């Protein structure tokens, strides 16, 4: 089976709850669509678990990009942007690690892909943090490079997709699209929004199983 989670944001208790429910087997695959870290303090611990998980596949999110930008260039501006988005707890946990482990984490994060494509039944599934790279030309944010675009884009739900393709994305908490409902998966045509606002006051971590659309929510 194929499971997808996004925007964990350090919510280790939520992740444990979801993992207990799905009971991941060696033949299953778990995709994590980025934003593992920031806000709650366990992002680095979750990252290290993911790095050791043979059937987990993690994509890059904007929070991981903010961390890499800061480590590449620890300027006031990069620090401000990351900390403003909850990065301080992550940096603290990261700096407490031995250098070899810090290095392993940055190598891992730098090699994260921006998207994954898979075929399940009659559907092509495109998994992204915020947007497919192929939209960059048409939805170019001013001054954004393609990577920044792919992890920061605010999806509207009217963007074109090829026939037979479903887009699974995180990044934008689903109450943005359905404010009158408790946080749950947002389904609109070929779009599946799965960021249910983990680590926010009213949010919860969500996991979607692609084969049958089953939804699992952290307690």
DSSP letter for 108, please: H
Q: Closest approach of Cβ 219 to Mn ion, in Å? A: 23
Closer residue to Mn ion, CB minimum distance, 34 or 190: 34
- Stretch of 62-70, 86-94, 138-146, 174-182 contacting Mn ion, by CB under 5 A: 62-70
Side-chain half-sphere of 2: how many Cα atoms within 13 Å? 16
* Contact predicate 210/7, CB 8 Å: no
Rounded distance, CA 146 to CA 204, Å? 30
CA atoms of 61 and 74, how far apart (whole Å) = 19
Q: What is the DSSP letter of 52?
A: T
Contacts with Mn ion in 94-123 (CB under 5 A)?
none
Among 11, 35, 42, 64, interactor with Mn ion by CB under 5 A: 35
The residue range among 35-43, 47-55, 69-77, 153-161 that interacts with Mn ion, by the rule CB under 5 A, is: 35-43
> Would you count residue 62 as binding Mn ion (CB under 5 A)?
yes
- Which CB atom, from 28 or from 176, has the smaller least distance to Mn ion? 176
Q: What DSSP string describes 118-180?
A: EEETTEEEEEESS--GGGTTTS--TT--HHHHHHH----S-----TTEEEEE-SS-GGGT-TT
**Closer of 57 and 171 to Mn ion (Cβ):** 171
Do 97 and 44 touch, CB atoms closer than 8 A? Answer: yes
Shortest CA distance to 48 belongs to which of 1, 85, 100? 100
Q: Which residues pair with 175 in a beta bridge?
A: none
Query: Which of residues 61 and 193 has its CB atom nearest to Mn ion in the complex?
Result: 61
Q: Is residue 90 near Mn ion by the rule CB under 5 A?
A: no
Q: How far is the CB of 61 from Mn ion (least distance, A)?
A: 5
Residue 9 as a binder of Mn ion (CB under 5 A): the answer is no
Residues 147-186 that bind Mn ion (CB under 5 A): 171
Structure tokens at 116: 């994954």
**Nearer to Mn ion by C-beta: 2 or 148?**
148
For Mn ion, the closer of residues 101 and 176 by Cβ is 176
Residues contacting Mn ion: total by CB under 5 A: 4
Using CB positions, name the residue nearest to Mn ion: 171
Q: Which residues bind Mn ion (CB under 5 A)?
A: 35, 61-62, 171
């Amino acid at each position: 089976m194929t499971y997808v989670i996004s925007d964990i944001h350090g919510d280790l208790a939520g992740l444990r709850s979801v993992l207990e429910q799905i009971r991941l087997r060696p033949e299953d695959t778990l995709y994590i669509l980025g934003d593992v870290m920031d806000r709650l303090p366990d992002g680095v611990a979750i990252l290290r678990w993911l790095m050791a998980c043979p059937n987990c596949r993690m994509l890059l999110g904007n929070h991981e990009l903010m961390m890499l930008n800061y480590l590449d260039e620890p300027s006031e501006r990069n620090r401000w942007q990351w900390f403003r988005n909850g990065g301080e707890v992550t940096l603290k946990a990261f700096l407490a690690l031995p250098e070899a482990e810090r290095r392993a984490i940055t190598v891992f994060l730098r090699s994260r892909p921006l998207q994954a494509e898979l075929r399940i039944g009659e559907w092509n599934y495109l998994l992204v943090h915020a947007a497919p790279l192929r939209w960059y030309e048409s939805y170019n944010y001013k001054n954004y490079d393609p990577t920044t675009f792919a992890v920061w884009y605010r999806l509207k739900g009217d963007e074109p997709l090829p026939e037979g393709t479903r887009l699974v994305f995180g990044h934008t908490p689903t109450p943005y699209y359905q404010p009158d409902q408790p946080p749950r998966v947002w389904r609109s045509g070929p779009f599946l929004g799965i960021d249910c606002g983990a680590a926010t006051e009213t949010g919860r971590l969500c996991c979607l199983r692609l084969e049958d659309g089953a939804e699992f929510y952290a307690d």
